[in-house]
Amino acid sequence: MKVAITEWQGRVAPVFDVAGTVLILESKTGQALETAPLPLGDPHSKLVYLTERGVHILICGAITRLMLDYAETLGIRISPFVSGEIDEVWTAWRNGTLDEACYSMPGCRRCRRRKGQCK
């Protein structure tokens, strides 16, 4: 299963809707498959691009509700409002600890809970 993390300066990119780079990884092996530029402009095209790449899970920073709903219709599961260094976030996701408060963007812990991302 392919997992994508939007990246900026070694950390999860702050806003998905304007993110420029994505890191695509394989969940089974834990290996990074590629770092790719995301389409510019319309944020819908970023999600379509990820679908075309066979991505099933997206870990990202802040994301607008419209994009969150659209990802759902495309069948992409999202862990939104995540912050932290890419390596740490990836390890946390593989260990099932991404829901911990230290990986939530400031002020977004409740938000992620409401969206059913946190246990």
Partner 1 sequence: MGVLCGSMSTDSPATTEAILQSISDGVFTVDEAWCITSFNRAAEKITGVTREEAMGKPCSEVFRSSMCEGACALRKTLETGQPMIAHPCFLVNADGERIPASISTSVLKDKNGKVIGGVETFRDLSELETLRKQISGQYTLGDLVSQSRAMQPVFEMTTSVAHSDITALIHGDTGTGKELLARAIHGMSSRAGKPFVAINCAALPDTLLESELFGYKKGAFTGAIKDREGRFAQAKGGTIFLDEIGEISPSVQVRLLRVLQERTYEPLGSNETHRSDARIIAATHRNLSALVASGEFREDLYYRVNVIRIDLPPLRERKEDLPLLVNHFIERFNRLHNKSIEGLSFGANSLLMGYDWPGNVRELENMIERAFVLCNGSTIEIRHLPQELQGSASAENGSIVPDIGTARRSAEAQAIFKTLEKNNFNRFAAARELGIHKTTLYRKIKALGLRLPS
Beta bridge partners of 25: 3, 32
Residue 117 beta carbon to partner 1: minimum distance, rounded to whole angstroms: 12
Which of residues 29 and 101 has its CB atom nearest to partner 1 in the complex? 101
Please tell me whether residue 55 binds partner 1 under the rule CB under 8 A: no
Q: Does 81 bind partner 1 (CB under 8 A)?
A: yes
CA 112 – CA 107 distance, rounded (Å): 10
Calculate the alpha carbon distances from 96 to 20, 27, 55 in Å.
26, 12, 19
Local structure of residue 37 (DSSP, 8 states): E
Binding site for partner 1 (CB under 8 A): 8, 11, 13-15, 17-20, 42, 44-45, 47-48, 51, 61-66, 68-70, 73-74, 80-81, 83, 105-108, 110-111
